[in-house]
Structure 1
Amino acid sequence: MDPKQRRDPVDRMVDAYEAMLERVDGMLESAGKSTLPALQKSLEAAREKAVELDELTREEAERIAGYLERDMQDAAHFLADTGEEFRDWLHFDIKLIEERMLGMCANVADRTRLELDRLARQASAAASRYHSGEITGPGTLVCEGCGETISFHQAGQIPVCPRYRGRRFTRRL
């Protein structure tokens, strides 16, 4: 059996999220001034690279790219609305977060925040919902059913709410 097939599927998806974020960050860095089209091209290229390297199926790569885009839209919206720093969006002490992950997320979110803010305002409230079973980056999610919070110090799979058993969450702002 191929070692990739023996890996836990959730671990594979979390690793893919982080790898795709790293690729997007690298592409945006080399692109210079970032715009929404540059972010979309970078996400598309990172998605295709994951499929090309046989890290993910096309369907899995589409899903991970969607999760990344959702997280970056949330971060950009928060930064534009509040004027606060990226670490405030995460609601964590920076020492608890892997520096590499924090740097990549902040870099992508900061360079795209104005255009993504416009896009985020147009998106419906349902588009920014987080659901159990999905993958998300660092931050704190709040159960829509009971207000219970779940904190992610790194990318991970969203569980059902431990208190309410709810499956829908929003990011704590």
Structure 2
Amino acid sequence: MSNDRDEEKRRRVYAYERMLERLNELMRSSEPQGLKEALDGVKKRAVELGELTREEAENISDFVRRDIQDAAQYVASSDKDYRTWLQMDLQLIENWIWDRFTSVADQTKVELLQFQEAANMPEEYHTGEIAGPGSLSCLNCGKEIHFSQTGHIPPCPSCHHSRFIRTARKAPDS
């Protein structure tokens, strides 16, 4: 039973990464389109190929959208880059996912600037959802959890609560 659950988690993480890869390819190779339209296309493709059910594709595309918008919002509203948002060295991140993630997030930054008021509210992350590389902070106790790669969000290791927000590395004092 536990093996089935672990396999399902791995399948969903792979689907997140594959969706991000397809999104990057689509946004680089076709006429300019918004994140929503591009995500709709890759979501449909995953269902057509039988990789995901419609509901799974919807959920995973929501996770991809949330992570991309969060990164683009951070970069658009600061003088920092994606490494700061991810709160880790690039060496910890697989190059292929880094390239795809930042490419899509760069394109999404323009969209976010057009919808600044909606993007100012940090989006919540919840236990059981999938998140891309970076750090999350527990909304209950402030404990940070770090992801060096895409994965499922666990309960807070300190207080076991399930609500988080994305956090960015504080720049060292110079």
Could you state the TM-score of these two structures normalised by the residue count of structure 1?
A: 0.89
Q: Deviation string for 1:49-71 (max 9, x for gaps)?
A: 11111111100000001111111
Matched, 1:25 2:24: yes
Deviation at 1:122, TM superposition (A): 1.2
The equivalent position to 2:115 in structure 1, one of 103, 115, 119, is 119
Q: Which moved more, 1:72-81 or 1:7-16?
A: 7-16
SS in 2 for 1:82: coil
Matched, 1:63 2:59: yes
Give the equivalent residue in structure 2 for 1:9: 8
Contact 1:129/1:168 (CA < 8 Å) preserved in 2? yes
Matched, 1:138 2:137: no
Q: How many residues align structurally?
A: 165
What is the rounded CA distance, in whole Å, between the counterparts of 1:159 and 1:58 in structure 2? 24
Deviation at 1:40, TM superposition (A): 1.6
Cα RMSD of the aligned pairs, angstroms, is: 1.8
SS in 1 for 2:164: strand
What is the rounded CA distance, in whole Å, between the counterparts of 1:120 and 1:55 in structure 2? 34
What is the rounded CA distance, in whole Å, between the counterparts of 2:116 and 2:95 in structure 1? 26
Give the equivalent residue in structure 2 for 1:80: 76
**Alignment gaps of 5+ in structure 2:** 169-174
Deviation at 1:8, TM superposition (A): 1.3
What is the rounded CA distance, in whole Å, between the counterparts of 1:66 and 1:96 in structure 2? 24
Contact 1:74/1:120 (CA < 8 Å) preserved in 2? no
Identity %: 42
Give the equivalent residue in structure 2 for 1:51: 47
Contact 2:34/2:111 (CA < 8 Å) preserved in 1? no
Aligned ranges 1:148-163 → 2 under 5 Å: 148-163=143-158
Deviation at 1:123, TM superposition (A): 4.8
Report the structure, 1 or 2, having the larger helix content. Answer: 1
Q: Which moved more, 1:109-118 or 1:146-155?
A: 109-118
**Alignment gaps of 5+ in structure 1:** none
Contact 1:143/1:166 (CA < 8 Å) preserved in 2? yes
Matched, 1:103 2:99: yes
SS in 2 for 1:170: strand
Give the equivalent residue in structure 1 for 2:161: 166
**What is the one-letter code of the residue matched to 1:20?**
M
Deviation at 1:83, TM superposition (A): 2.2
What is the rounded CA distance, in whole Å, between the counterparts of 1:25 and 1:159 in structure 2? 27
Deviation at 1:87, TM superposition (A): 1.2
